[in-house]
Structure 1
Amino acid sequence: MQKLSTETKLQQTVFQGIFFDADDAKALHMIADAFVPELERLKHASKASEPGKPGTPSQGEDKSPSCLLFGKEYDEVNRTLVGMLALKWIWKDDYEAFTRSQNKFVKLKPETFKRLRKLFKDGLREKADVFNLLTSTIINDLGKDPALADDVAKITGLPADAINHDMVIYEAAKAGIIPCIKRLDAKHKEELFLGLKLGSTLNGGQLAQAENVPGNLEGLLEMRGHRHAFDLKFLELILDVAGAAGHLDARCAKMMIEPVAQAYLTTHEVALDIIEGRSSLREGYDTVLTRRAEMLVEKDFRRLSVQDPEERALLRMLLMSRTADADQAELFSQAFDALPLSIRRKLVNGLNVDGYQDGKAILPYYMPAMFSEALENVSREPLSAKIEAMSSLMRFLTRVLDGTRPMPGKEGKVVERNLMFARTTIKSKEFREDPTVLDQLKIPPTPHVQHLLTNQS
C-alpha cells in the first residue's frame, strides 16, 4: 500500500501487525493522534439519543476515553472510541473485557462472542482491512456534527435538516472533506465508498430493530459482487453497536448483549441471503421479525406470525422496543389491544407498507429511542400506567405513519421522519402522570426535500 508521508503511529503499528498488542490507553492515544480532525467533529456532534446517566468513573483506570484524551466527557467521542476498543477485545479474544459490566441476565454468551469473532477473523483478511475498518468506524457518526451537515447542505443544495447523518457522511466523503479517507489505497477507498453508499440508505441497526422497512434493503442488491465491501461495512456496524452505550459506560461493549447480538447475526444472514439472491427484500426483512418471534416463544410468549398483518405490526414494535422477554411483550400486546379499532387499523396499515413497489412507507427515525425513554420514565409505575403509556406511544406512531397503507403496484419510496422532537415530552413528569399529553404534541411537517428512496425495478 502506498502510504502518505504523514504516516501516523497508528498506521505503522497496524501494518506491522502489533496494534492489537497495545494496551487500551496506548491504543486510544494512537487513535487520537491519527484522527485529530475527525475527533474534533465528534466533540461537536449532537448528543447520544439513548436515555440514561453516565456511569463510568472519570478518575483512575476507569476514565472514559474522552476524559483520558481530552479531560472532558463527549458522548459521541466515547461511543466511537469504545467501539474501536471493542475491535481490540474481539481480536484478542478478550471476552471478559467485552462483557465486563453487561447485565448478567442478558449477558453475551461465550459461544455468541465466538460467532462474532469469526466474522472479524474472516472479514479482516489483511492488515489494510484493519486500517480500513478503523477509518470507517471513526467517520461513522461524523454526520452528527451540525457544521458538517451545513457544509454538505451547501454542496448538495439540500436543507441540512432534510438529510440524515448517514447521508451526510456519504456526501461529505464524495466531496473530499473527510481527511482520513485520503490515507486509504484505491482498493480500500472503493470498498469504503461502497459501504458508505449502502449506509446512506440502509442502516443495519434500523433493520435489526425493525425501525426501517423492506424498501430500505434495496441497496443490498448493489452489493452483489462486492461481498468483501459488505463484510467490512457489517463489521463497522458491529463496532458501532458495541460502543453505543460508551457515553454511559466505557468499560465494555455494554449494548452488545445476547439478544442484540442474535438480532445482528440474523441481520447478517438476511443481508447475505438478499445479496446472493436467496430471498426477496420482504422475505429477508420478515426473517428478522420471525427470529424475534421464535425467541419470545422460548421465553413463554405466544407465537406471532408475519403472515397476520396485526401480529406482524406488533412484532415490528416489539423489535423497535428491543423487547426480549415475555413480560414486556405482554405489556405491548395489551397496549396494542387497548387501542381503539380505527387507530389500530391505521397503525397496522402503516407498519405493513414495504416502501418497495407498494407506495410510500414512513421510517419512524428514533422510534426505538422514544420507546426506551417511555419505558424508563414509567418503569416504577403500576402495570396499568405502563399500558396507558405504551398505548400513547402507539397512538403517536399512528399519527407519524400518516395514513400510509400498502398500495401494490405503486411506485415505492421511503420517507424518513425524525422523531427526536418528541423526546422532551416523552421523558417528562407530565407524560408519566398523564400519557395523553403526547396526543396533543403536534408533528412537524416533513421537510419539502426529504430523504426519499425511490425503488422501482
Structure 2
Amino acid sequence: MSKSLLYELIEKKRSTMRDLTDEQALKLFKTSFPDEIEHLKGASATVESGDGLDVQTASMLLFDKQYIEVDRTLTSMLAIKWLLADDYKTFTSGQTNDILSEDSFRQLRECLSDKVCRKESLKALFAAMLIDDIGKDASLAEKLGESKDKNHSVIVLRAAEKGLIPALKTLPQDQQDIIIQSLEIGAKLDISQVVQAETAPNSLCALRTGKDLEQAFNMRAIITFLDVAGAAAHRNPKGGAVMTESVFQHYKKAMDIMDQYRTGKIEDSQQCYDRYLSYRADVLAQRNFPLLNPADQTDRALLRLLCMGRVEHKKPAEQFQAAFESLPPDKKSQLINGLSVNGVTDGIAILPYYAPGILAEARRNLPDEDETSIINAIKAFMELLARVFEGSEPHPNMPGGIKERDLSASHIQEVVKGAAFRKDPSVLANIELKWD
C-alpha cells in the first residue's frame, strides 16, 4: 500500500505542514485517508446541540454536506497544525469566555512537542487522531461481526488488531504497537469521563496492566486534548472552541494525577480518583463554595454531580446543591448509593453514559435564567439519574466492574430538548429506561 500524501509531506519537511492553509490541510486529510473518512461520514454522532454559526464546517467544505464526526475529527487534526505553527490566535478564535491563556497554549504546545519529537511520531499522531472515532460507524462493527451497540472504542481496537485500518498499515510496526496500546487504554478508560466524574475508579485500572504504557498513555493524553479541542466543530468550527482555560486546567490536572497512578506514585485507583475530586472541590472552595470532602458519601455524590454539570463557580454550585437537597429521600439515597460504588472491590459500578450531555441539553433548553426554573431542571435531571443508578450500591468484598447505561438514546434527547420539558422539567420522570 502506498504512503498517504500527508505522510509523504511530513517525511519531506515537517515545517511544510505548518505552512499549509487550513483549507489545504483539510483537502490533504481527505485525499490521504479516504477509507477512514468514509467511516467518519457513516458514524452515528452523539453530540450536544446548540445554535450553529454561519460559518462553513470542514465537512461542508469537503463534501457540501455536514457530517458531524468528520467536522469534529478533522478540526482536531487541524489543531495539531495550529499548535505546530504556534498559532494561538486561530486556536482560540472560537472562544468568547474563559479564553485559553497564552501560557496554557504554550504548555499544550510543549506537551505536543515532547510527545511528537520524530517524523514517525507525528505521522502516528495524525493516524491515531483520525481513527479514534471511526468505531461509531456501524459498518465497521458489521465487518467484525460485532453488535453496532458495542462501545465504539472497543470496535476500533478490534479493527486495528485485525489489520482493517489502512491508515495504520503505512506506519512502522513500533508506532502501530503504540497506537494499539493507546486504543487498549481508551477501550477501558475515557479520560473525559474521569474529568466529568461520569465513570468510576475501576476504569483507571487500565493504566495498571503490567506493561510499559508510558508512550501509549502519552498518546492517549494528547489525543484527548485534541479531541476536546474539536468537540464543538459541528456548530462552531472556529479554532479549538471547547479547549478553554478552565477545561485545559481540569484535563491537565486529571492527566497529571493519572500518570502518578500509572507510575505507582498514587497507590490505588480510588485514591487517584479521589485526588481529582479533591482538586475540583478546591477549585470551587477558592470561589467561596463550601469545601466538599470526597471521603463523605453525600459530599462525594454532590461533587460528582457538579463535575457532570461542568460547574466552575459558586452560584451554579449553589443551584446544584439546592436541587440535590430538595430531592425526595428515596431518590437522594439511590443517587448517593450509585455514585459511591468504585467498581473495584465493592461490586459493579454504573457508568451513566452521556449524563453530562443530557444535563447540558437540559440547561440549554430552559426558557430563561430564573433561579427556580434552573433548580427544578437540575432536580429533574437528578431524579432521572437516580433511576439510572437504581439497585446500585456498594457491596464490600464483591468482585468489581463497570456496567454502562446509555442515556444518549434519541427518545431521551427528544424529551430533554422538547417544549414539554421547557414547560415542566418533571416530564423526565415519564421517560422509559431500558437496559440490556
Q: TM-score, normalised by structure 1?
A: 0.92
Give the equivalent residue in structure 1 for 2:10.
Answer: 14
Structure 2 letter corresponding to 1:360: I
Given that residues 99 and 252 in structure 1 are in contact (C-alpha distance below 8 angstroms), is that contact kept between their aligned partners in structure 2? yes
Cα shift readout 1:138-169 (whole Å, capped 9, x = no counterpart):
111111112223333x1x5xx332x1111111
Tell whether the 8 Å contact from 1:223 to 1:230 is kept in structure 2 after alignment.
no
| SS across alignment from 1:355 | coil
Retained in 1: the 8 A contact 2:350–2:389? yes
Aligned partner of 2:71 in structure 1 is 78
Structure 1 residue 81: Cα displacement: 0.7
- Equivalent residues in 2 for 1:77-156 (5 A)? 77-104=70-97, 106-152=98-144, 154=145, 156=146
Q: Name the structure 2 match of 1:439.
A: 429
Supply the distance in 2 between the matched residues of 1:56 and 1:355 (Cα, whole angstroms).
Answer: 45
Instruction: Give yes or no for contact 1:56–1:250 (8 Å, CA) kept in 2.
Output: no
Aligned to 2:272: 284
- Residue 224 of structure 2 is matched in structure 1 by 237
Letter in 2 for 1:402: E
Aligned counterparts, 1:304-319, within 5 A: 304-319=292-307
**Is 1:335 paired with 2:323?**
yes
Counterpart among 186, 203, 225 of residue 199 in structure 1:
186
**SS at 1:160's partner residue?**
coil
Matched-pair contact (CA < 8 Å) for 2:77–2:126: yes
Q: 1:179 to 1:100 in 2, by over 3 A?
A: same
TM-score, normalised relative to structure 2:
0.96
Tell me, yes or no, if structure 1 residue 387 matches structure 2 residue 375.
Answer: yes
The aligned residue for residue 399 of structure 2 is: 411
Task: State the shift of 1:224 in Å.
Answer: 4.7
Please name the residue that 2:420 is paired with.
430
Question: Partners of 1:310 and 1:379 in 2: how far apart?
Answer: 31
Cα-to-partner distance string for 1:54-100 (whole Å, 9 max, x where unaligned): 21423xxxxx2112211222111110011011111112211111111
Cα deviations by residue, 1:4-41 (Å, 9 ceiling, x for unpaired) = 5x122211111222322222111111111111011111
Contact 1:270–1:287 at 8 Å: present in 2 too?
yes
Q: 1:175 aligns with which of 162, 187, 203?
A: 162
Question: Which of 23, 28, 31 does residue 30 from structure 1 map onto?
Answer: 28
Which residue does 1:450 correspond to in 2?
none
C-alpha separation between the residues in 1 aligned to 2:209 and 2:117?
22
Aligned-partner residue type, residue 186 of structure 1: Q
Structure 2: segments with no counterpart, 5+ residues: none
1:302 aligned to 290, 297, 300, which one?
290
Q: Does 1:349 align with 2:337?
A: yes
**How big is the shift at 1:226?**
2.6
- In structure 1, give the amino acid aligned to 2:135: G
Paired AA for residue 415 in structure 1 = K
Distance 1:331 1:223, change over 3 A: farther
- 2:55 touches 2:237 (CA, 8 Å); kept in 1? no
Identical residues among aligned pairs (%): 35
- What is the match of residue 65 of structure 1? 58
The whole-number CA distance in structure 2 between the counterparts of 1:390 and 1:190 is: 44
Contact 2:4 2:33 in 1 (8 A): no
Task: Give the equivalent residue in structure 2 for 1:261.
Answer: 248
Aligned: 1:47 with 2:40: no
CA RMSD across the alignment: 1.4
5+ unaligned residues in a row in structure 1: which ranges?
59-63, 448-457
Once residues 26 and 73 of structure 1 are traced to their aligned partners in structure 2, the CA distance between those partners, rounded to angstroms, is 19
Give the match's secondary structure for 1:166: helix
Asked if the contact 1:374–1:427 (Cα under 8 Å) also holds between the matched residues in 2, the reply is yes
In structure 1, C-alpha distance between the alignment counterparts of 2:288 and 2:53, rounded to whole Å? 33
Whole-Å Cα distance in 2 between the matches of residues 442 and 25 of structure 1? 45
Distance (Å, rounded) in 2 between the aligned partners of 1:94 and 1:34: 24
SS in 1 for 2:234: coil
Tell me how far apart the structure 2 counterparts of residues 417 and 194 of structure 1 sit (CA, whole Å).
26
Decide whether the 8 Å contact of 2:367 with 2:422 is kept in 1. Answer: no
Please say which of residues 395-404 and 297-306 is displaced more in the overlay: 297-306
Q: CA deviation at 1:181?
A: 1.3
Distance (Å, rounded) in 1 between the aligned partners of 2:34 and 2:116: 25
